[in-house]
Structure 1
């Protein structure tokens, strides 16, 4: 996948907990913002999802914290598509500053919003995703 960031932002003081570190809810929020940029690169734009009656639902999310983020830190997230299956994709977000300090691996399923069940990706989305799969060394 392109090495362009899927998220860039700042840690604000109000995002920090009682010991001065960015609270876990804000890590998840920043990873979620990166999700939507990654999805758009795959053709899963908000207008496509609304128009097709489809959506994306997280079914598993694992976050690893390697270093705390503090108020004023500038963070970036780069995303790597790891796997595409019939109805789901798995990807990894790396949050960085000077060093990698957290990463999040997520599996999401493509959903039919009216039937509330998972459905296969279209061939066009699958073909686009296949072009963006990360090399095993990146995972």
Structure 2
């Protein structure tokens, strides 16, 4: 995908910080997860649609790089990009930025598989979702 989309804005609160005074890894993952749901909704995979279709998205792979510490009071944003779409899966990335300093705090790359929640197995992504991703990836 050529352009990253804003999928999260928020702040680091004191309860997000660990005994060393910086945001704990569980909160990085949580904020990335919130960005993921914004991204999926943008693609046409809103939670209500998934429920209605007896479908889901399962994370099968995640790689995180922690680059800069975040502390209580820091304001951050996450931008997301689609890297690849296959018949049943989406590979995407998020970049978390400290909005005050402009520094990248963390990045993550994930693979999510579309699945049938009743059969508990993967199934093809809806064609309009694949088409939306392809249109989004097309050069302007």
The C-alpha deviation readout for 1:10-65, integer Å capped at 9, x for no partner, is 00111101110100000000000000000011000111111111000000000000
5+ unaligned residues in a row in structure 1: which ranges?
A: none
Query: What's the TM-score, normalizing by structure 2?
Result: 0.92
Q: Which residue in 2 is equivalent to 1:106?
A: 110
Q: 1:33 to 1:61 in 2, by over 3 A?
A: same
The C-alpha deviation readout for 1:94-120, integer Å capped at 9, x for no partner, is 000121110010000001000111101
Query: What's the TM-score, normalizing by structure 1?
Result: 0.92
1:111–1:119 CA contact under 8 A, matched in 2? yes
Distance in 2, matches of 1:28 and 1:116, equals 24
Does residue 17 of the first structure (1) align with residue 21 of the second (2)? no
1:80–1:92 CA contact under 8 A, matched in 2? yes
2:5–2:81 CA contact under 8 A, matched in 1? no
5+ unaligned residues in a row in structure 2: which ranges?
A: none
Equivalent residues in 2 for 1:119-134, closer than 5 Å: 119-133=123-137
Distance in 2, matches of 1:62 and 1:28, equals 11
State the Cα RMSD in Å: 1.5
